[in-house]
Amino acid sequence: MKTIENLSLSGQRALVRVDFNVPLTEEGQVANDKRILATLPTITYLADHGAKVILLSHLGRPKAAPDAKYSLRPVAEALAVRLGRPVGFCEEAVGPKAEAAVSALESGDILLLENVRFYPGEERGDADFAAQLAKHGDCYVNDAFGTAHRAHSSTTIVAQHFPGKCAFGYVMAAEIENVNRVLQSSERPALAIVGGSKVSSKIDILQRLMDRVDHIIIGGGMSFTFIKAQGGEVGQSICELDHLQTAREIMSLAEQKGVTLHLPSDVLAADDFSPTANTQICSIFDIPAAWQGLDAGPESIKAFIEVVQKAKTLLWNGPLGVFEMEAFAGGTREVGEAIAEATERGLFSLVGGGDSVSAVEQFGLSDRMSYISTGGGAMLEYLEGKTLPGIQAILDFA
């Protein structure tokens, strides 16, 4: 894999696509700088090796036109504080102003250009817009795993202008290496925990994992479709009636491939989708008609933890209950804690996909997992086996 360490950098203009799509407060300040922190090693390496660093990113969903609400200016300020060095900002990403700002750079300087999604060409993957961006650089680095599944100008198309001079930044390289480590699952048994609300959004992942892991725990809302498919009564629980056959196919594929599927046996049911609902523990096959399962029950949690304790490689995608409500966070938290403990004893644990990452953060377990993916949608597509255009472009033009 070609990384920034393979580029010749001294005096060169390094055009770097980063993922600074950070949440902002109402006052326009950076609310969570996790993504900024993740890019510091790449930016520091480039600047310390004499490159002129030109950063590109998107922020939010502006309507292909400038919108002060989505300006990257506050991000430049937050980045400067974190880096402990000045970061220039230009209120345009292409055109004479941006070109002048770039040509004023000296080795080691860092410049952030304005939100690339202020331009209609970006999301269209427009070749002219990519050519204008390319004017800023002598080499191109992609470190934005979170948008690697988009064939946009700044994430993919621009790479064509840098044959032999493209590389992955450290965030990208770490994401690819860690997910591949799980998908290649050399350390067995390998376990995938797949939760969340819908089977329909996880079919491709489940199918692909069948060739790669020994055990799959299916939890959260999606488990009810599997229970219903086996004739269980799931009451008001979230259930995709149009995917009962899908659930049956996944179960028979697991059998064929020798993968052990673990479904919950009991459930914490509630009489309302509310943090103050009345609750009871019942068999997941026998949920009263007016009730809904919102978390794994104690027997299921215990069984899941036993599987976690035996695993050597683990992928976790999707919560095991409605963890956003404290009353239904227990299953996700307890299994999360078991993963953290097993990781301390040598398990390789990767948490990927938006909601499980938020859950792990909410429970303060992030630092105790082996690796937490920064890219939600991109990670899911990678796990599904799709070619991510942002990754492919670097491989093609490295």
Active-site residue, from 13, 17, 35, 228: 35
Nearer to ligand AMP, 153 or 246 (CB): 246
| Least distance CB 237 / ligand AMP (angstroms) | 6
| Least distance CB 246 / ligand AMP (angstroms) | 15
Nearer to ligand AMP, 101 or 267 (CB): 267
Q: Give the H/E segment covering residue 281.
A: strand 279-283
Q: Cis peptide before 288, with omega less than 30 degrees from 0? A: no
For residues 232 and 221, what is the distance between their CA atoms, to the nearest angstrom? 14
**What are the residues binding ligand AMP (CB under 6 A)?**
196-198, 201, 220-221, 238, 293-294, 318-319, 321-322, 324, 355
| Least distance CB 294 / ligand AMP (angstroms) | 5
Q: How far is CA 28 from CA 209, 214, 293, in A?
A: 41, 46, 39
**Structure token digits, residue 217:** 């725990």
Is 146 a catalytic site residue?
no
DSSP assignment, residue 24? B
For residues 148 and 177, what is the distance between their CA atoms, to the nearest angstrom? 15
For residues 30 and 25, what is the distance between their CA atoms, to the nearest angstrom? 6
| Least distance CB 283 / ligand AMP (angstroms) | 15
Nearer to ligand AMP, 119 or 328 (CB): 328
| Least distance CB 66 / ligand AMP (angstroms) | 32
Nearer to ligand AMP, 198 or 312 (CB): 198
Q: What is the dihedral of CA 26, 28, 31, 36, to 10 degrees?
A: 160
Is 198 a catalytic site residue?
yes
Active-site residue, from 34, 108, 354, 368: 354
Is 354 a catalytic site residue?
yes
Residues 6+ apart with CB under 8 A from 168: 1, 2, 3, 4, 141, 142, 143, 176, 391, 394
3-class state of residue 113 by DSSP? strand
Active-site residue, from 34, 73, 181, 198: 198
Nearer to ligand AMP, 1 or 203 (CB): 203
Is 52 a catalytic site residue?
no
Q: Which residue is nearest to ligand AMP (CB)?
A: 196
What is the layout of strands, in order, in the sheet containing 88-90? 88-90, 110-113, 52-56, 13-17, 139-142, 166-168
Nearer to ligand AMP, 293 or 330 (CB): 293
| Least distance CB 302 / ligand AMP (angstroms) | 18
Taking each helix axis from N to C terminus, what angle separates 73-83 and 34-48, rounded to the nearest 10 degrees?
60
Residues tagged active-site: 35, 198, 354, 377
